[in-house]
Every structure is written in C-alpha cells, then in structure tokens.
C-alpha cells in the first residue's frame, strides 16, 4: 500500500512542483525559549512547497531552533517552550490534541553530524523508522530500503554491504544514509540542520545535488552557515539575526540586492 | 639538559609510575588466584563435583548440592534483580531529571553501600519469619537487594553514555519515546548493561553473610523454594570452621569451583551478548 502511494507521489510531484505556489509551512508569531532565553522572536514566514528554503544567519541566531519548531523537536529539550502557530498544510501543529510523533513522521529531519544508529546495519538503519513503527513485512521493507537508498544516491555504493554496520561507512556516506533513513518514512517535508558542516567538499557537493533532486518530491528546508551553499542550492532564503527574521526573499534577490542593511552587511562578510 | 631530554625523562617517569601501580594492584589479585588454585586443585575430582557431602569428620563426598544451590540462587536472584535494576536504571537515565530522580539516585547509592549482613537480617525478619522457614526464596530476595542497586547504577551510567543525537535521530523519525528507549537506546547501551549485570552476579555469588540468615545451609540437594539449601560461599565458610584438614582442603576446592563458575558464566554471557559489529565505530 505504501509503495503504491510512493509511486503515485513520484509520478505527480514534478508537475506539482512547477505549477503550484502552495505554502507547505506557515508560521504565525512564532516565539521560542530555552528557559528564560528568548531565542526566536515573532517569526512569521511562509515556506513554499517543493522548493528549497535556506535559513542563514550568524551562529546562535536561532536558525536551528526555528526548524526544530517545524517538527516539534524543540520541545524535547528540558526547559524549552514555544508560542505562536506553525501551520502545516494549513493546520496548526501546536494545536492541543496534535500528536507530535505524527507531526515528526510528516516532517523529517537530517542532523548536523551524521548519526546512524551504531548497533544497526545499513539496511536496518534505513528500515528503522518503519520497523520501529511496526511495519515488518520483509518484502515491503526491501523495496522501501532500496528506493530510499536510491533517492539518497547511496544504493550503488552500498548495495553489496547492506548488512555492514551503518557506522562503518565514510562520513559523507553516513550522512546520505541518514537522509535515506529520513526518506524511508515518506515525510512531506525534509528539514536539514547544517547537513554538510561535518563533511569534506566532495561529500558536500553530493549532498547538494541530492537536495536539488529531492525538491521534486519534498519540501526542503536547510539551515546553513555557508552562504555559498545557500546561494547554490536554495530557491528562497531567510536571514535570521538575534532571533528575528530580518529578510526573506528569493535567493537571487536576497544575495544580489538585499533590501536590509543588516542582510547586506552579513552577506558581504562584515560580521557573523 | 635540553628541554627535549627533560620531557622524555618526565614521560619515562610517569610511565614507570603507572606501570608500578598496575603491578602493585595486580599482586593481591594474582596471589589470591594462585593460592586458591594451589590449595584447591587437589580437592577437585569427579566425586567432589557430583556427590553430596560425606558425614562430618569422615571426609569424602563433594559439594554438588552447594554448586546446584549457587546456580539456583544466581538464577532466581537475576529473575528478581535484573528486571527491577534495569528498569530503575532506565527510569533514572531517561526520566530522572527531577527531585524525585535525585532522591532515588541517592537512596540507590546508600543501598549499594549497605552492609550485606544488614540485608540478611532485614530479609530474615521480612521473609524467613513470615514463611516460617529458611528458604531459597529468602536467599534470592536478599541477594536481589544487593544486586539491584549495582544494576541500576550501571544501567543508568551506560544509558547516559548513549549520545543524545541517537535519541533525537529516532524521535525525528516519528518513533515514540518508549520505543526509542527500548529499541534504540537500550540496544546501543547493551554492552555496558551486560557488564553491570555480570559484575553484580560476581558480587552476589560470593556473598556469604546474608545467606547465613536466609538459606541456612543444607546437606541435601535442592528440595523446594521454601526449603533451606546450600550455596558455595556458605559451604566454604562452614568447611573452614571445621577442625579437620580434609574439610579445609574441600573448602579451598569449593572456593576454586566458585571462582571458575563465575568465570565461565561471565565468558558465556559475554559471547552470547557480543555485538554484531565490533569496534568499527570511527
């Protein structure tokens, strides 16, 4: 059943991507705190479907916190708090009665440091999300694992090593494994928190190509402190500074012709 | 002297000091093993391992009932102590960031340093008097009370060593908290937890004081969970008290059997629980 869904999505998604200007995620006066530390201040922004949105800004400006609010990971930190709304397809994921676990199945996340499960094989790492949620039919899993690894551009490299430990791969492969693991649960949005900052340039280039391929089927939001990367891959870019959304525009406009002085200073390297 | 030579000298000095300390630490361990083996090996025989004790003062016979008793006690104790200990450890590591958790942690620490004879008296009052007889159940209860805090502590420590990024990875896949803990965190920490359990087994299989107050000792094989029974450390103690040379030799033999038993158990469990992927983490 899942596979049919998966196929039908891949058939119609490309056209959708070209035709719609639909907003996948909308935030309304989003505020976030760690204890008394107010890290996000009244963020209201819209994230378009099937495009790559980059979030840039100096360290500690709240980039990571912002995307962690999109899949309710922020609240897992003790003392963390959120107010405001995050609408996913128009419904608020912070409404009472919304199960954060179900939100996280729709909004997947790739982390800064590759973090495959150390006790699991390559195969089990990719299948983990399904297995741990009770799907265990070997045939289904085989297909999903293969499809996810293909989407993550890793299949050819590991097809003969599926039973090897996930942590025996190289850093870049591990990160693509983590991407495959995220894709295997078929999310609608993929959040990436500085996914290349622990990787060398070759591995980074691979992940960047991957992101561009992914936006056909997924809405991608990437946090990066590498402005070149944002310029290379993203369609829209948001600039965050001290927890505030300073500017949010088409990537080319933001980099070539920023309307805020602060943005210009940041992208020309005057601070940050 | 050049600064390089001085540094080399310091390096050598620190190395020698460390080496010396290791040697000093190993001496008692080595001499115990050597002494027990030297004195006990001559007592070992098929009869010694498979027969009931002979009549007091006559010599002969074996410690089969004590071996059986120790194995039963270890099994029964693990049945009570491991689940309780592991669960408490999970609670403390994953949900213990509160006053309540801190209090439990403190009490656990206290329990760990409890004199085992006090545990024996406590279980005597609680179980032996209530059941009206010294028994295997009472012995296992006492040993479980000694085992539990060790398992709790090592489980908590091993779980805390699991990087938070692993938990986050699972949570971000939409896996529920309990499932994350059971299937991902626990399996990542498995080795540490097994080590803790093995340590606690080694500790309880040598405990003597609480057994005096709970299982009493017996000349016969296991006769039921509510009956008195024998165990190796208790046997060693009783044999050592007898005024006969043969008894002392059997005592050494029983001590050697106990050490070997713990060793074999340890190796077996480790082999069984061995990680599928060894040492490949970068």
Averaged over successive runs of 10 residues, the pLDDT of chain A (272 residues) comes to: 45 41 89 93 93 92 93 92 93 93 94 93 93 84 92 90 91 93 94 90 90 92 92 93 93 91 89 72
HSE (CB half, 13 Å, CA atoms) of A107? 25
Domains of chain A: 2-267 (3.40.50.300)
Which run of H or E residues covers position B83?
Answer: helix B64-95
CB contact B282 to A (< 8 Å): yes
Count of domains forming chain B: 1
The pTM for the full model equals 0.80
What is the value of ipTM here, to two decimals?
Answer: 0.84
Q: What are the start-end ranges of the H helices in chain A?
A: 2-19, 63-70, 100-106, 122-131, 138-151, 155-158, 171-184, 201-214, 227-233, 251-256, 261-267
Kindly state the greatest CA–CA separation across chain B.
78
- Is residue B147 one of the residues assigned to a domain? yes
Contact yes or no for B184 and A108 at CB 8 A = no
- Is residue B253 one of the residues assigned to a domain? no
Q: How far apart, in whole angstroms, are the C-alpha atoms of residue B207 and residue B228?
A: 17
Cβ-contact B232, B69 below 8 angstroms: yes
Instruction: Give pLDDT, residue B35.
Output: 93
CA angle A182, A46, B167 (to 5 degrees): 30
Cβ-contact A207, A39 below 8 angstroms: no
Burial A67-89 (b: 16+ CB within 10 A, else e): bbbbbbbbeeeeebebebbbbbe
**Chain A, nearest residue to B279 by Cα:** A168
Cβ-contact B212, B234 below 8 angstroms: yes
Residue with tokens 């590991």: A158
Q: How far apart, in whole angstroms, are the C-alpha atoms of residue A147 and residue A141?
A: 10
Q: Which of B162, B174, B183, B186 to mutate to test the interface with A (most CBs of A within 10 A)?
A: B174
Angle subtended by helix axes B64-95 and B190-206, to nearest 10? 140
What is the residue-wise DSSP string for B184-220? IIHHHTHHHHHHHHHHHHHHHHH--HHHHTTTB--SS
* Residue B142 domain boundaries: 67-229
CB contact B273 to A (< 8 Å): no
Q: How far apart, in whole angstroms, are the C-alpha atoms of residue B67 and residue B232?
A: 6
Residue B101: Cβ-neighbour burial (10 angstroms; 0-12, 13-18, 19+): middle
User: How many beta-carbon pairs under 8 angstroms link A with B?
Assistant: 86
Contact yes or no for B169 and A178 at CB 8 A = yes
Q: How far apart, in whole angstroms, are the C-alpha atoms of residue A53 and residue A33?
A: 23
Residue with tokens 């201040």: A41
Quickly count helices (H) and strands (E) in chain A: 11, 10
- Is residue B157 one of the residues assigned to a domain? yes
- Is residue B280 one of the residues assigned to a domain? no
- The A37-48 sheet, strands edge to edge: A37-48, A23-34, A80-88, A91-92
CA angle B164, B168, B169 (to 5 degrees): 115
Q: Which of A77, A119, A128, A194 to mutate to test the interface with B (most CBs of B within 10 A)?
A: A119
What is the residue-wise DSSP string for B2-33? -HHHHHHHHHHHHHHHHHHHHHHHHHHHHHHH
- Is residue B220 one of the residues assigned to a domain? yes
Instruction: Give pLDDT, residue A272.
Output: 67
Give how far B279 is from chain A: nearest CA, Å: 9
- Is residue B185 one of the residues assigned to a domain? yes
Residues B104-128: pLDDT tens digits?
A: 999 999 999 999 999 999 999 999 9
- Is residue B234 one of the residues assigned to a domain? no
The CATH number of residue B147's host domain is 1.10.3720.10
Residues of B in Cβ contact (< 8 Å) with A117: 166, 169-170, 184, 188
Residues B180-221: pLDDT tens digits?
A: 999 999 999 998 999 899 989 989 999 999 999 999 898 999
Residues of B in Cβ contact (< 8 Å) with A164: 277
Instruction: Give pLDDT, residue A20.
Output: 52
Instruction: Give pLDDT, residue B278.
Output: 45
Select from B97, B163, B281 the Cβ nearest to the Cβ of A78.
B97
Residue with tokens 């090592």: B154
Residues B217-267: pLDDT tens digits?
A: 989 999 989 999 999 999 999 999 999 999 999 999 999 999 999 899 888
Instruction: Give pLDDT, residue B86.
Output: 95
Cβ-contact A72, A103 below 8 angstroms: yes
Is beta strand A52-56 parallel, antiparallel or unpaired with respect to A80-88? unpaired
Q: How far apart, in whole angstroms, are the C-alpha atoms of residue A100 and residue A83?
A: 15
- Is residue B130 one of the residues assigned to a domain? yes
């Amino acid at each position: 059943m899942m596979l049919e869904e998966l196929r039908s999505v891949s058939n119609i998604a490309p056209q959708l991507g070209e035709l719609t200007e639909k907003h996948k995620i909308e935030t309304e006066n989003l505020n976030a705190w760690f204890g008394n530390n107010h890290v996000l201040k009244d963020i209201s922004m819209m994230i378009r479907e099937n495009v790559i949105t980059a979030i840039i800004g100096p360290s500690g400006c709240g980039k990571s916190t912002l995307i962690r609010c999109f899949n309710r990971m922020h609240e897992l930190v003790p003392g963390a708090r959120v107010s405001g709304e995050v609408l996913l397809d128009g419904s608020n994921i912070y409404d009472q009665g919304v199960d954060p676990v179900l939100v996280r199945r729709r909004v997947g996340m790739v982390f800064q440091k590759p973090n495959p499960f150390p006790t699991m094989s390559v195969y089990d790492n990719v299948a983990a999300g399904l297995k741990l949620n009770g799907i265990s039919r070997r045939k289904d899993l085989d297909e999903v694992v293969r499809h996810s690894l293909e989407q993550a551009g890793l299949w050819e490299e590991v097809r003969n090593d599926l039973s090897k430990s996930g942590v025996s791969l190289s850093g870049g492969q591990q990160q693509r494994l983590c991407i495959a693991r995220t894709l295997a649960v078929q999310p609608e949005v993929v959040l990436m928190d500085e996914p290349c900052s622990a990787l060398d340039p070759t591995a980074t280039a691979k992940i960047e190509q991957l992101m561009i391929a992914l936006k056909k089927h997924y809405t991608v939001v990437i946090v990066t402190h590498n402005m070149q990367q944002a310029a290379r891959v993203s369609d829209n870019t948001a600039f965050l500074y001290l927890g505030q959304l300073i500017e949010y525009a088409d990537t080319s406009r933001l980099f070539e012709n920023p309307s805020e002085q602060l943005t210009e200073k940041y992208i020309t390297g005057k601070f940050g | 002297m050049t600064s390089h030579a001085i540094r080399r000298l310091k390096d050598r000095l620190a190395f020698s000091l460390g080496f010396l300390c290791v040697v000093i630490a190993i001496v008692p361990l080595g001499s115990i093993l050597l002494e027990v083996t030297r004195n006990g090996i001559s007592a070992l025989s098929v009869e010694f391992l498979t027969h009931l004790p002979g009549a007091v003062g006559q010599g002969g016979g074996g410690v089969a009932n004590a071996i059986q008793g120790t194995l039963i006690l270890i099994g029964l104790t693990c049945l009570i102590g491991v689940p309780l200990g592991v669960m408490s450890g999970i609670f403390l590591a994953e949900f213990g960031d509160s006053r309540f958790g801190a209090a439990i942690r403190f009490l656990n620490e206290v329990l760990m340093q409890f004199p085992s004879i006090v545990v024996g008296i406590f279980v005597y009052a609680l179980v032996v008097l209530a059941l009206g007889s010294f028994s295997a159940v009472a012995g296992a209860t006492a040993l479980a009370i000694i085992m539990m805090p060790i398992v709790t502590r090592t489980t908590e420590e091993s779980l805390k060593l699991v990087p938070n990024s692993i938990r986050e990875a699972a949570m971000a896949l939409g896996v529920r908290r309990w499932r994350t803990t059971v299937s991902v965190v626990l399996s990542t920490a498995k080795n540490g937890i097994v080590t803790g359990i093995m340590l606690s087994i080694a500790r309880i299989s040598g405990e003597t004081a609480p057994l005096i107050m709970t299982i009493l000792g017996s000349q016969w094989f296991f006769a039921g969970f509510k009956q008195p029974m024998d165990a190796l450390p208790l046997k060693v103690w009783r044999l050592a008290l007898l005024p006969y040379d043969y008894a002392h030799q059997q005592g050494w033999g029983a001590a050697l059997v106990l050490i070997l038993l713990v060793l074999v158990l340890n190796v077996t469990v480790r082999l069984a629980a061995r990680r599928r992927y060894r040492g490949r983490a970068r």
